[in-house]
Amino acid sequence: MSFLSATLGRVKPSPTTAVTTLARELKAAGKDVIGLGAGEPDFDTPLRIREAAKRAMDAGETRYTALDGIPELKAAIVAKFARDNGLGYTTDQVIVSTGGKQVLFNALMATLNPGDEVVIPAPYWVSYPDMVLLAGGTPVIAETSLQTSFKLTPEALEEAITPEALEAAITPQTKWLIFNSPSNPTGAGYRRDELMALTQVLLRHPHVWLMTDDMYEHITFDGFAFSTPAQVEPALYDRTLTVNGVSKAYAMTGWRIGYAAGPGVLVDAMRKVQSQSTTNPCSLRQWAAVEALNGPQADLVPNAALFQRRRDMVVEMLNAAEGVTCPVPQGAFYVYPSVAGCIGKTSAAGTVIGDDEAFSRALLEETGVAVVFGAAFGLSPHFRVSYAAADDVLRDACTRIQAFCAGLT
Ligand SMILES: Cc1ncc(COP(=O)(O)O)c(C=O)c1O
C-alpha cells in the first residue's frame, strides 16, 4: 500500500512552479533568462501599508487573533464590498484567510463530497481543478476558445448541460461554478451584460452555487467597468461566495491575505476548516490589509494605467510574431496568445513544435524566455505571458519571441 494518499495521487504539481524552477536552474547555470511566468506585480507594497505592519508589530499585535480575522479587517472588508461592489454584507458573513488561495480551498473542503462536480471554465487558473480534486470533488471543464474571446458564453454552458454530452458542465451533481473575471490566464473580463447572461443560466439551476474569484478587480483597462455576479444578479446573493484579496491590487503577494463574503452557513463551515488547519492568518499582515483597504485608493488607477501601457506593447509585439495571435485582454496582467500557426514547425535548434509545451520549452532553451504553456491552463495551443515586468525586459522578451517564431521552418 502506498504511503502517500490516493487523493494526492490525483493532483499534479503546479506547472507554473515547474516553469519557474526550470528558469531558475538555467539562470543559475549562467544562461540569460527572462522569466515571464510569475503572476505578481513587479513593484513594492506601498509604504503606507508596510508602515501599518511595522506599527502593529511595535504595538504588540503578535498574538493569535480571532480565527477568521480581526474585527477591524472584517469591518474594512464589509466597507470595501459596499464601496466597490454595492454588496451588503455583515462581518459575520466575512472570513479572512492566508491568501485568496486558502479562501477557495476552505470553501471547497467545506462543501465537496465524493461525486460532487465543480464547473471550471477553461482556460482556468492552474489551481482550481487540483484544489477540487484535493477536496474530493470532480472538476468539470467547460471549454472556451479564442473565437469567443475566452469568455464562457451562456450558449456554451447550456450546450454543455445536455445529458448526452460527456463533458456536461452542469449536471445534478454540480455544486459550484468557479468564475474568474478578469481572468488568469487570459485577462478576459466579463462586461455587465455578459455576466447577466451567465447569471440567467444559473438562475435556472438553483442547486449550483457560484464561487467568484475577483482577485483582479482593480486591474482593468480602457474604461472596462468591473462587475461581480451577486451585484449583477441579486437573486444569486444567497448562493454566491465573493472572493477577493490584497495580493494583486496592492502588490502584496507575499503577505498572504485573502478574504471572502457569502452566506453565513457556508462561511461558518469555512471557519470550521480554518479552525482545524491554519487558524488565523498572520496578525501583522491583517493590520497591513486594514490599511490597504481603508487607506487612500489613489494608487490603483496609475497601477492599472501602467499595466495597460505594457499590455498594449506586448499585444502589438506578439501579434507581429509569425504564427502567433494575441487577443487584447480587458484586465489582469496576462496575455494568452495562440500559437496555432507555429504547431508542426521546427525550431532553429531542431525541436519539432508538436504542441504548446514543446513551443514553450524550446522558447526557453533557445531564447531564454520563460512562459507557461497553455495545456497547464486547460486550453491549447497557447502560452501565457505575465507582463508584470519592466518595459525594457518585456520589449527584450517579445523581440526574442519574434526572432524565435521567425526562425521556425
Ligand atoms: C485567479 C487567481 N485567484 C487566486 C489567486 C491567489 O491569490 P493569493 O495570492 O491571494 O492566494 C491567484 C494568484 O495567482 C489568481 O491568479
- Listed residue (62, 107, 13, 99) closest to 287, CA to CA: 62
When the pLDDT of each residue in the chain is averaged and rounded to a whole number, the result is 91
pLDDT confidence band for 152 (50 / 70 / 90) = low
Atom of ligand 1 nearest to the CA of 40: 14
406 Cα–ligand 1 center, Å: 34
| Domain boundary, last residue among 240, 260, 294 | 294
* pLDDT, mean of residues 5-10: 88
Q: Look at residue 134 and tell me whether its pLDDT is greater than 80.
A: yes
Q: Within 13 Å of residue 289, how many CA atoms lie on the same side as its CB?
A: 35
Q: Look at residue 161 and tell me whether its pLDDT is greater than 90.
A: no
Q: How many domains does the chain have?
A: 2
By mean pLDDT, which of 115-119, 193-197, 227-231, 253-257 is the weakest?
193-197
| Domain boundary, last residue among 294, 313, 329 | 294
| Residues within a 6 A CB radius of ligand 1 | 39, 99-101, 125, 180, 184, 213, 215, 245, 247, 253, 258
Residue 57 placed within a domain: no
Q: Look at residue 194 and tell me whether its pLDDT is greater than 90.
A: no
107 Cα–ligand 1 center, Å: 15
Q: Which residue puts its alpha carbon closest to atom 13 of ligand 1?
A: 39
Write out the residue range of the structural domain in which residue 267 sits: 63-294
Q: Look at residue 225 and tell me whether its pLDDT is greater than 70.
A: yes
Check residue 159 and give its pLDDT.
Answer: 33
Check residue 61 and give its pLDDT.
Answer: 98
The cell numbers describing 408, all together, are: 521556425
Question: Are residues 39 and 76 located together in one domain of the fold?
Answer: no
Check residue 146 and give its pLDDT.
Answer: 59
Specify the pairing of strand 383-386 against strand 258-261. Answer: unpaired
Q: Look at residue 218 and tell me whether its pLDDT is greater than 80.
A: yes
Q: Tell me, rounded to whole angstroms, the distance of Cα 225 from its chain centroid.
A: 18
The cell numbers describing 35, all together, are: 522569466
100 Cα–ligand 1 center, Å: 6
Q: 42-65: per-residue pLDDT in tens?
A: 889 999 999 999 999 999 999 999
Question: Are residues 308 and 339 located together in one domain of the fold?
Answer: yes
Contact by Cβ (8 Å): 395, 362: no
Residue whose CB lies within 8 A of the most ligand 1 atoms, among 120, 184, 285, for a mutation test: 184
List of residues 6+ apart from 311 with CB closer than 8 A: 187, 221, 328, 329, 333, 335, 387
Question: Are residues 80 and 14 located together in one domain of the fold?
Answer: no
Specify the pairing of strand 372-373 against strand 383-386. Answer: antiparallel
Helix (H) or strand (E) holding 244: strand 240-245
Return the number of other C-beta atoms located less than 10 Å from residue 158's C-beta.
13
- Listed residue (330, 359, 357) closest to 346, CA to CA: 359
In 256-386, where do the E strands start and end? 258-261, 334-335, 369-370, 372-373, 383-386
Question: Are residues 281 and 162 located together in one domain of the fold?
Answer: yes
Q: Cα(148)–Cα(344) distance, rounded to whole angstroms?
A: 25
User: What is the C-alpha radius of gyration for the chain, rounded to an integer number of angstroms?
Assistant: 21
Which residue blocks in 10-89 are alpha helix, DSSP H?
15-28, 47-58, 71-85
Q: 235-259: per-residue pLDDT in tens?
A: 999 999 999 999 999 999 999 999 9
* pLDDT, mean of residues 207-215: 96
Q: 254-270: per-residue pLDDT in tens?
A: 999 999 999 999 999 99
Question: Are residues 149 and 220 located together in one domain of the fold?
Answer: yes
Residue whose cell numbers read 510569475: 38
183 Cα–ligand 1 center, Å: 10
30 Cα–ligand 1 center, Å: 31
Q: Which residue puts its alpha carbon closest to atom 1 of ligand 1?
A: 184
| Domain boundary, last residue among 294, 314, 340 | 294
Q: What is the pTM of this model?
A: 0.94
Return the number of other C-beta atoms located less than 10 Å from residue 309's C-beta.
13
Report the CATH number at residue 15.
Answer: 3.90.1150.10
